[in-house]
Amino acid sequence: MAAAQVQVEMAAQEINAGGGIKGQTLHLLFEDDTGRPDVGRSATEKLISQDRVPVLTGGYSSSVTAAVTAVAQQLQVPFLVTTGSADEITEKGYDFVFRINPPASEYPRGLSSFLEQVAKPKTAVILAENSLFGQSSSKEMVTLCGQLGIQILLKEGYNKGAVDFKPLLTKVKALNPDLVYMISYVMDASLMMRQARELDLNPQLFMGGGAGFTLPEFAKSAGPAADYVYSATLWMQNLPAPGARDYFDAYQGKFKEETEYHGAEAYASLQVIADALRRAKSTSPQDIRDALAVTDTATVFGPVKFVAYDRKTQQNRLPTFLVQWQKGKLETVWPLAIATAGYRFPTPPWGERQ
């Protein structure tokens, strides 16, 4: 992701302005995986075998992240995952793989109390991309619906980059669910909402499972169709994480646009690596790995400490939150203690919106 590269560079500039790592300048090397696992594997092999990097970070698509972390583990170089969230990434017992963001199965947890206390939907439809990320998130949503007594009328996958969601959305409209829950990257998310508007699909609420639904590009591409859409998110600038607001303001001041949780993860990943490098006995991959393993630090994304639970190892644990698009602006609406705006529910029919 180009945006993530920008935020990593911002963090590096701050680290180097503060004296670097033990008096040495922190240098970054970038490779583009182009969203393809085979390209990601080759890029990782190059960085390790040719460029001799002692530590790696990155990872957006879960499918690509799963591929590149396998290479890092095989070649024994630590890899700090920023975003790739499929549960299995930290369920393989890899001792050189760490993850800063919550696993995909935990994304819906920030929605649970809102659905239970406020929305109280009786029926739901789940639409998910056929990917590792989509599979992990949709499984947890099925579990959550079961716990809350929400009847699932349809759970259906789709292929990334679809050009027409109308046949699928027409099927959804006929079912008339209270909740439409979608797990999509940004272009699919935008197209899905535009076409939902064209078909006059009117559930009580549209909800996204993070990913594309929190990006500024979603509101730009979906336009008015983005309004009232809820989404799980992992971070907002108003959270009580040290430097979160400063980072947000600095990014907005420099690039004249807002950043969101993907960017905060990227920025924080370099904070974590810098912390580990300062504590490591040397710059060998093994010593950096050992330093990462005992990380206990604060970042703009929140506290980072790698723990083992369920089947996961070296996984950071953080809560998730609920946001809603309101007139082109992403507002935190749940929990109420950190809300920046009141939630708008139920979603008014398309023809009644102002």
- pLDDT value for 76: 98
> Residue 97's pLDDT band (boundaries 50, 70, 90)?
very high
Q: How many other C-beta atoms can be found within 10 angstroms of the C-beta atom of residue 89?
A: 25
Whole-angstrom distance, CA of residue 321 vs CA of residue 306 = 21
> Residue 223's pLDDT band (boundaries 50, 70, 90)?
very high
Mean of all residue pLDDT scores within the chain: 94
Whole-angstrom distance, CA of residue 36 vs CA of residue 256 = 30
Whole-angstrom distance, CA of residue 143 vs CA of residue 194 = 29
Picking from 48-57, 131-140, 177-186, which range would have the lowest pLDDT averaged per residue? 131-140
pLDDT single digits (tens) 33-45: 998 999 999 999 9
Which pTM value belongs to this model? Answer: 0.87
Whole-angstrom distance, CA of residue 135 vs CA of residue 236 = 25
- pLDDT value for 354: 65
Crossing angle for the helix pair 244-255 and 261-279, to the nearest 10 degrees: 120
Identify whether the C-beta of residue 198 lies closer than 8 Å to the C-beta of residue 350. no
Identify which has the larger pLDDT, 131 or 123. 123
Average pLDDT, stretch 213-219?
A: 92
Which residue has tokens 């009328």? 153
- pLDDT value for 293: 98
Identify whether the C-beta of residue 190 lies closer than 8 Å to the C-beta of residue 208. no
Whether 10 shows a pLDDT value over 50: the answer reads yes
Picking from 51-55, 132-136, 268-272, 300-304, which range would have the lowest pLDDT averaged per residue? 132-136
Whole-angstrom distance, CA of residue 70 vs CA of residue 22 = 30
pLDDT single digits (tens) 327-353: 999 999 999 999 999 999 999 999 888
Average pLDDT, stretch 250-274?
A: 93
Whole-angstrom distance, CA of residue 208 vs CA of residue 328 = 16
- pLDDT value for 352: 87
Q: How many other C-beta atoms can be found within 10 angstroms of the C-beta atom of residue 321?
A: 24
Average pLDDT, stretch 173-183?
A: 97
Average pLDDT, stretch 112-137?
A: 92
> Residue 3's pLDDT band (boundaries 50, 70, 90)?
low
- pLDDT value for 1: 41
Long-range contacts of 50-55 (CB under 8 A, 24+ apart): 53/29, 53/77, 54/78, 54/283, 54/284, 54/285, 54/288, 55/79, 55/80, 55/273, 55/276, 55/277, 55/285, 55/288, 55/292
Whole-angstrom distance, CA of residue 197 vs CA of residue 188 = 14
- pLDDT value for 211: 81
pLDDT single digits (tens) 278-316: 999 999 999 999 999 999 999 999 999 999 999 999 999
> Residue 149's pLDDT band (boundaries 50, 70, 90)?
very high
Kindly provide the residue ranges of all beta strands, DSSP E only, lying in the chain, ordered along the sequence. 56-58, 79-81, 97-99, 123-129, 151-158, 179-183, 205-208, 230-233, 296-299, 302-309, 312-316, 321-326, 329-334
H or E stretch covering 246: helix 244-255
| Percent residues over pLDDT 90 in the chain | 82
| Percent residues over pLDDT 70 in the chain | 99
Q: How far is CA 352 from CA 168, 246, 291, 323, in A?
A: 24, 39, 56, 22
Whole-angstrom distance, CA of residue 179 vs CA of residue 181 = 6
